[in-house]
C-alpha cells in the first residue's frame, strides 16, 4: 500500500483511539475536569507530562531547527531539557503540596490579591494561546501532505479532535489520551532515528552512531562546499550572547509553563510529583537524545539527494512532487542551467525548504517503508494534539475557575462551572484556528515566544512565592506586569513591526531572560518598599517547603 493509504489507516485509527479514550474518561465534576481527580499514577503522569510538554515543536520542528542552525541549534536541547529539570526539582513538589487547581489560583492566593489573580490569568491566556497556535499548524502540515487536504482543512480537523477530548473528558480524558499519544509519538520518532542511523552508519543506536561517527563533520564539510555556514562551528547563526540568553529563556520558561505545572496537580501527593517528574524526564530524554542524530542524518540525506542534481530528475521523485504541492518545498532554476543549486547564498540557492518538514519528509527521503511514513505522520499529530489539549485546559480553567468562580459567581454549581469551562475551550480552539492556518512564524519560533512570556511572568512569581516569605502582593503584581509588557512589546516589535534588536542585539527568542530579570528586580524592590504580607501568608510559605505532611496540602481547596 502507498504511504497515503497507510497514513489514512493509522491516522484514523489513532484519532478513533483518542476519541474513545476521551469518551471513556468523560467527567461530571470540576476536580476531574481540572486535575483528573488527583488520582493519576506517577508513571502515567510522567508519560502524559512528556506528551504534554513535547509539542509539535519537539517532534516536527526541533530537528529541523538543529539541521539549519547546526551547533547553535543546541539551545533548544539545552534549554528545554534543562528547564524541565529546573521545574521538577525547584517548583513542582511545592506547588503540588499547595494543593490548588491552577497557577493563577496559586498566584492569587499566595499574594492574597484578586488583582494578582487577574494578571496571572491574562498571562496564562497569553502564553497558552501563543503556544496552542503552532500545535494546530503542525497537524495542518501533516494532513496537508499525507492526506491530500489543504492546511486549513488539517487545522480544522485538529480543532474537532482536540475540542472533543478536552470538552468531554477535561484533564482526566486528556491525561489518558496523552499516555496513548506519547506511545505513538515516541515509537514513530525512535523508528526514524534507528532507521536513519542503521542506513547511514550501520549502527542502529542513533545516540551512539551520532557520537562515535564523523557524520557531523562530514555534513559540515558538505555544507561549506555548497556555500553554507560550517555546521559544527559555534555562533555561526546566533551570537554567544543570544545562545546563552535563548537557552536560559527556554529553561526558566519551561519552569513557568502553566500547562506543564498543572500536570503535577493531578497526582495523589507531593512525593508522587517528584516520581512523575523523574519518569517524565526519562520519557523526554528518549526523544531529546535522538533529535541531534535525526537532525544531522536528515540534513545530510537531503543535501546529497537534491544538491547539484538535474532539476527535472529531482522533480520526478515522488516525495518531492508531493511536498511541492503543499508549498512547503519550492524548486526554482534561477540560472536556467537545469542543475539544482543548493547554497547558503540566497541569490544562488534554488531550493526553499520549510524547516517544519525536515522530520516529516525524512522517511520518504530515506526510502523507508510506507507504513513508517504513516506512523511518523501520526506521531507528529500526536505530539501536537497532546500539547494543544493541555493548553486548552489551562485557558478554560483560568477563565472559568479563576475568574468566573472565584470573582464573579462563587456560588456557581458544578454543572454551571463545567458548562462555562467547556464553552471556553470550544471558543478558544475555534479562535486559534485562523492563526494556525496563517501563522506569523515557524512552529518552533512561536513556541519559543510562548516560553519567553512564561519566563518573564510566571517563573519569578512562582519562585519568589515559594522561597521568599517577604514577597508581597504589590511586588508580585508589579513584577508580572513589567515582565509581560516588556517581553511582549519587544517580541512583537522586533518580529513583526520591523524594529531592530536594539538591546545588545538580543533576539525575540532570548528576550524572555531580560523580562524575567526585570520582573525579579521590580518585584524585590517594591516588596521591600511596601508592607510585608500577612502573618498567615508567611506561615503558609514556610509550610509549603516543609516535607512533612506532603500527602495533604498546605491549603486545602
Q: Which residue has the higher pLDDT, 28 or 11?
A: 11
SS3 289: coil
Which structural domains are found in the chain, ordered by start? 3-545 (1.20.1730.10)
Highest mean pLDDT among 106-110, 320-324, 384-388, 434-438: 106-110
- CA-CA distance, 453 to 487, in Å (whole number)? 6
pLDDT range class, residue 556, cuts 50, 70, 90: very low
- List pLDDT tens digits, range 363-379: 888 888 888 888 888 88
- CA-CA distance, 194 to 363, in Å (whole number)? 11
Classify burial at 487, counting beta carbons within 10 Å of its beta carbon; exposed 0-12, middle 13-18, buried 19 or more: buried
pLDDT at residue 444 tops 60:
no
pLDDT for the residue numbered 30: 67
pLDDT for the residue numbered 442: 58
pLDDT at residue 557 tops 70:
no
CB atoms within 10 A of CB 410: 8
Classify burial at 443, counting beta carbons within 10 Å of its beta carbon; exposed 0-12, middle 13-18, buried 19 or more: buried
pLDDT range class, residue 525, cuts 50, 70, 90: very high
Classify burial at 543, counting beta carbons within 10 Å of its beta carbon; exposed 0-12, middle 13-18, buried 19 or more: middle
CB atoms within 10 A of CB 501: 17
Joined together, the cell numbers standing for residue 122 give: 491574562
Q: What percentage of the chain has pLDDT greater than the value 90?
A: 23
Region 63-74 average pLDDT: 87
- CA-CA distance, 486 to 306, in Å (whole number)? 43
Instruction: Work out the mean pLDDT of the chain and round it to a whole number.
Output: 84
The residue whose grid cell reads 522533480 is 315
pLDDT for the residue numbered 533: 94
Region 429-450 average pLDDT: 74
pLDDT at residue 252 tops 60:
yes
Q: In this structure, which long-range contacts are made by residues 493-497, counting pairs with CB atoms below 8 Å and at least 24 apart in sequence? A: 495/440, 495/441, 495/449, 496/440
Q: Supply the DSSP symbol for 214.
A: S
pLDDT at residue 516 tops 90:
yes
pLDDT at residue 275 tops 90:
no
- CA-CA distance, 184 to 18, in Å (whole number)? 11
SS3 113: coil
- CA-CA distance, 393 to 168, in Å (whole number)? 11
- List pLDDT tens digits, range 19-54: 888 778 776 666 666 665 667 888 888 888 888 878
Q: Supply the DSSP symbol for 310.
A: B
pLDDT range class, residue 481, cuts 50, 70, 90: very high
Which range (15-29, 38-52, 205-219, 313-327) has the least confidence? Answer: 15-29
- CA-CA distance, 400 to 393, in Å (whole number)? 10
What is the widest separation between alpha-carbon atoms in the chain? 79
Region 308-328 average pLDDT: 86
SS3 329: strand
Highest mean pLDDT among 38-52, 206-220, 442-456, 517-531: 517-531
pLDDT range class, residue 440, cuts 50, 70, 90: low
User: What are residue 310's DSSP bridge partners?
Assistant: 339
Q: Which residue has the higher pLDDT, 341 or 440?
A: 341
Q: What percentage of the chain has pLDDT greater than the value 70?
A: 93
Amino acid at each position: 500500500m502507498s504511504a497515503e493509504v497507510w497514513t489514512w489507516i493509522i491516522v484514523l485509527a489513532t484519532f478513533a483511539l483518542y476519541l474513545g479514550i476521551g469518551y471513556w474518561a468523560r467527567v461530571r465534576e470540576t476536580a476531574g475536569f481540572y486535575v483528573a481527580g488527583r488520582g493519576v499514577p506517577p508513571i502515567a503522569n510522567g508519560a502524559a507530562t512528556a506528551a504534554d510538554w513535547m509539542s509539535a515543536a519537539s517532534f516536527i520542528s526541533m530537528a529541523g531547527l538543529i539541521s539549519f542552525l547546526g551547533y547553535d541549534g543546541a539551545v533548544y536541547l539545552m534549554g528545554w531539557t534543562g528547564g524541565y529539570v529546573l521545574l521538577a526539582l525547584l517548583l513542582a513538589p511545592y506547588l503540588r503540596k499547595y494543593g490548588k487547581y491552577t497557577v493563577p489560583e496559586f498566584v492569587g492566593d499566595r499574594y492574597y490579591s484578586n488583582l494578582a489573580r487577574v494578571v496571572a490569568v491574562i498571562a496564562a491566556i497569553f502564553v497558552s494561546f501563543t503556544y496552542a497556535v503552532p500545535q494546530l499548524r503542525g497537524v495542518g502540515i501533516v494532513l496537508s501532505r499525507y492526506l491530500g487536504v489543504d492546511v486549513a482543512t488539517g487545522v480544522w480537523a485538529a480543532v474537532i479532535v482536540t475540542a472533543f477530548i478536552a470538552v468531554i473528558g477535561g484533564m482526566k480524558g486528556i491525561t489518558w489520551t496523552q499516555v496513548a499519544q506519547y506511545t505513538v509519538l515516541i515509537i514513530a520518532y525512535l523508528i526514524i532515528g534507528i532507521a536513519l542511523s542503521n542506513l547511514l552508519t550501520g549502527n542502529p543506536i542513533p545516540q551512539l552512531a551520532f557520537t562515535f561517527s564523523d557524520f557531523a563533520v562530514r555534513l559540515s564539510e558538505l555544507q561549506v562546499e555548497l556555500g553554507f555556514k560550517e555546521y559544527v562551528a559555534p555562533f555561526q547563526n546566533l551570537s554567544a550572547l543570544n545562545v546563552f540568553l535563548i537557552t536560559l529563556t527556554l529553561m526558566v520558561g519551561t519552569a513557568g509553563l502553566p500547562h506543564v505545572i498543572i500536570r503535577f496537580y493531578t497526582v495523589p501527593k507531593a512525593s508522587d510529583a517528584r516520581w512523575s517528574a523523574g519518569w517524565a524526564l526519562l520519557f523526554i530524554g528518549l526523544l531529546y537524545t535522538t533529535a541531534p542524530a535525526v537532525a544531522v542524518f536528515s540534513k545530510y540525506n537531503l543535501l546529497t539527494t537534491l544538491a547539484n542534481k538535474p532539476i527535472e530528475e529531482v522533480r520526478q521523485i515522488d516525495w518531492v512532487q508531493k511536498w511541492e504541492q503543499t508549498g512547503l518545498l519550492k524548486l526554482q532554476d534561477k540560472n536556467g542551467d537545469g542543475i539544482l543549486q543548493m547554497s547558503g547564498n540566497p541569490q544562488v540557492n534554488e531550493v526553499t525548504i520549510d524547516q517544519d518538514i525536515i522530520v516529516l519528509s525524512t522517511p520518504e527521503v530515506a526510502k523507508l517503508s510506507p507504513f513508517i511514513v504513516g506512523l511518523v505522520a501520526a506521531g507528529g499529530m500526536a505530539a501536537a494534539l497532546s500539547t494543544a489539549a493541555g493548553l486548552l485546559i489551562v485557558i478554560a480553567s483560568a477563565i472559568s475557575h479563576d475568574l468566573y468562580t472565584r470573582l464573579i459567581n462563587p456560588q456557581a454549581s458544578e454543572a454551571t462551572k463545567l458548562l462555562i469551562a467547556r464553552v471556553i475551550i470550544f471558543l478558544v480552539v475555534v479562535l486559534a484556528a485562523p492563526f494556525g492556518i496563517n501563522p506569523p512564524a515557524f512552529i518552533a519560533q512561536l513556541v519559543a515566544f510562548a516560553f519567553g512570556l512564561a519566563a518573564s511572568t510566571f517563573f519569578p512569581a512562582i519562585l519568589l512565592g515559594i522561597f521568599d516569605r517577604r514577597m508581597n502582593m504589590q511586588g508580585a503584581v508589579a513584577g508580572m506586569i513589567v515582565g509581560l509588557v516588556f517581553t511582549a512589546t519587544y517580541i512583537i516589535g522586533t518580529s513583526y513591526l520591523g524594529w531592530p534588536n536594539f538591546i545588545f542585539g538580543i533576539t525575540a527568542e532570548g528576550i524572555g531572560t531580560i523580562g524575567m530579570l526585570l520582573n525579579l528586580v521590580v518585584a524585590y524592590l517594591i516588596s521591600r518598599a511596601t508592607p510585608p504580607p500577612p502573618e498567615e501568608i508567611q506561615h503558609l510559605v514556610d509550610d509549603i517547603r516543609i516535607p512533612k505532611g506532603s500527602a495533604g496540602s498546605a491549603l486545602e481547596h
